[in-house]
Structure 1
Amino acid sequence: MIDTSRGNNMKAIVDLFASIDNAIALFMKVAVSVMGIFVSFAMVVGIVSRALLGIQVFGLEELVLTAAMWLYMLGAGLASREKSHLSADFVEAFSSNETLHDVTRLIATVLSVVMAVFFVTWSYSLFAWGVEKGQVTPVFSIPQYISQGSLFVASILLFLYALRDLIHDAGKLFIKG
């Protein structure tokens, strides 16, 4: 008799991670959409009020900066999740050898994981420094670490998705068939 409980447990874990990933992705998509609309609207309001009405809207730049930072960083996380970020797959243009493609993809993914570890470390240091210093924006007193936190969150997302890609690429190369 074949023991299928291990396979069922593994499938349940994979399904759990997929559900968590889908929930996070849904949250990011909604946040990116809302912030994109806000940044666009706020920029129009700022330009119209300043250029046409001669009125300065104080603090608008602070709100736009914070929203734009989160917009860009969550967008980078989504691009990494969906593998829609820029890549230079020039080896595939010069060779039709699938094994060579898999090896170069694995090397690129390993480098991505290593760089992501550095990004997590650096962005955490920036975020911790921001919390420690307690700097705030001049008009609304928004803590600077709120926008700096976007870098930390994005670097964690990039690391997790690079790790996912590493597992996939290594499996594709080493577990044929």
Structure 2
Amino acid sequence: MSSKDNNQDWRLFHEEMADVKPLQHNRVAARKPPPPPRPLQREQDERQVMDELMDPPDPAEIETGEELLYFREGLQRRVRRQLRRGQFPPTAWLDLHGMTSLQARRAVAEFLQRCRKERHRCVRIIHGKGKRSSNHGPVLKRKVDYWLRQRDEVLAFCSALPSDGGTGAAYVLLRLER
């Protein structure tokens, strides 16, 4: 390459660069900083807690340890929930207040047999809360729990809603005779 060609190249280069303004710094423009991280899961959990506080849970979904609760295997979850919510209105009831254990056992057996024959689907047994029992707790309540579990015609039972006696009574779902 001759010096003449070299000079011509420089001249062309300078002509092309005549309108270019030199940079005032040698750094690249920084991008906008990302937003600070947010704890999305914690925010979601806190919203859920607030929603639950504003909408209290269904009393049928809360267990206090005093409830009677038994479901025969294979019973649908929907039926369980309906029974606990009192959505099967009891069509017959038995009150065991003032009975001895022996009297109560006979009364329960006869009552369940009669109800099954009369095709009652859901019944209520009032066993009491055992407030007048000694320090051993509610006698009839524990025995009713045991007796009902032994009966083939009993599909499920649970403590009643407060309006029907609460933990002093039980809804009993019966298998109907064919």
Q: Normalised by the size of structure 2, how large is the TM-score?
A: 0.20
Q: Normalised by the size of structure 1, how large is the TM-score?
A: 0.20
